[in-house]
Amino acid sequence: MQRLFSTFADGWPGVGLLLQRVLAGTMLVRLGIVQLTGTPASTSMILQVVSVCAGMLLLLGLWTPVAGALIAVVQMWIAFAYVGDPWIPIILATLGATVAMIGPGAWSIDARLFGRKHIGT
């Protein structure tokens, strides 16, 4: 997994990645729950459930490349397949894709699990 990231950014870049993950994850969970509670059962519910689960992974910083790529694909699918305003899904797809490309940052579970380990004496 470490080979998927050039570094686990810390400092101000790490804070920026944390804010980006929190914003995108919170929006995905909120929008997904609103969609799931306000509509009867349909096939579009599957996409919303996947979005909510990927948003939770993004909030935690767990499996970030997979979650970000999944968010990008699902949100673009939602943007082009369903009637309504496509801009929020397009923005969320962009945020998911950028997090997948950049990585989770130092304040994530991925960094704890797959980051560089310091061996001290």
Question: What pLDDT, on a 0 to 100 scale, did the predictor assign at position 119?
Answer: 67
Question: What pLDDT, on a 0 to 100 scale, did the predictor assign at position 82?
Answer: 85
Question: What pLDDT, on a 0 to 100 scale, did the predictor assign at position 45?
Answer: 87
Residues 6+ apart with CB under 8 A from 17: 9, 99, 102, 103, 104, 105, 107
pTM: 0.85
User: Using an 8 Å Cβ cutoff, are 14 and 111 in contact?
Assistant: no
Rounded to whole angstroms, the Cα distance separating 13 from 26 reads: 20
Rounded to whole angstroms, the Cα distance separating 7 from 10 reads: 9
| pLDDT 10s digits, 40-99 | 777 778 999 999 999 999 999 999 999 999 999 999 999 999 888 899 999 999 999 999
Q: How confident is the model at residue 107 (pLDDT cuts 50, 70, 90)?
A: confident
User: Using an 8 Å Cβ cutoff, are 74 and 55 in contact?
Assistant: no
